[in-house]
Amino acid sequence: MPGRDAFVDLVLGGRCAGCDRPGVTLCDGCRGLLTGLTPFRAWPDPRPPGLAPPTAAAPYADELRSLILAHKEHARYALARPLGQLLATAVRTALGDRRTCHLCPVPSPRATVRQRGHDPLRRITKAAVRSLRRQGIDASLADALRVVRRPDDQAGLSAERRTVNLDGAFGLRSRWAETLTDQPVLLVDDVITTGSTLTEACRALESRGIPVLGCAVLAATRRYSPSGS
């Protein structure tokens, strides 16, 4: 909650979560950085079969990396709004001329959500939906996926091992099956690395007859093809 961030800033003196300068949770410089980014097509290299076209707002590095981690791991809740606005820019690029979309966040295991004390991606997605609606886009949050098998920690795994690790990890919540049929659905996540998580999420939706228009993420690691091809 934003009040928590204000309390931390008051008691600890406050530092920007992006650049660590003394001050508020997000300084003017880092806020300006978020609004000046240009989304791009972020195909991982190698490109996993079955992955819908991914669009990233920026590379996963520097201040943006720090902001994502501060929100996710350190509960800097006030960052959800600016990160949601950034995700909305990636969504707009992924949509092209479309003015309607359902945003489906990649789910986290319940134990992970409990450990963090919040669901970072869902919080950011809700902020993105609000931002898109203010821009005249008929966006909605679709909590259509759930974790049906908790995979092992992905850190340090190769692309091939990640794919095997995530096989069958997600399932469709049955109440969304009819709602999302023939609708423009975008999968959203915070970071794309090998693309294995988003690919498995695509499979979970498309196996139930729900085509995925594309994927939108805050950031892409350096493991993407520079040509975007």
- DSSP assignment of 5-38, as one string? HHHHHHHH--B-TTT--BSSSS-HHHHHHHHT--
Q: Where are the alpha helices (DSSP H) in the chain?
A: 2-12, 28-35, 62-74, 80-95, 110-116, 120-134, 159-166, 177-180, 196-206
Euclidean distance between CA atoms 199 and 118, whole angstroms: 24
pLDDT band at 161 (very low <50, low <70, confident <90, very high): low
d(CA 119, CA 176): 20
What's the confidence (pLDDT) of residue 229?
34
How does residue 210 score in pLDDT terms, banded at 50, 70 and 90? very high
What is the pTM for the complete model shown?
0.86
Buried/exposed 217-229: b ≥16 CB within 10 Å, e otherwise: bbbbbeebeeeee
pLDDT tens across 173-191, in order?
Answer: 989 999 999 899 999 999 9
**Cβ-based neighbours of 203, under 8 Å, separated by 6 or more:** 50, 170
pLDDT digits (tens, 9 = 90+) for 85-141: 999 999 999 999 999 999 999 999 888 889 989 999 999 999 999 999 999 999 999
Report the half-sphere exposure of 217 (CA within 13 A, side-chain side).
30
Cβ neighbors of 78 (< 8 A, separation 6 or more) are: 2, 5, 6, 25, 26
Please state, in angstroms and rounded to a whole number, the distance separating the CA atoms of residues 212 and 149: 22
Helix (H, G, I), strand (E, B) or coil at 124: helix
Q: Coil, strand, or helix at residue 172?
A: strand
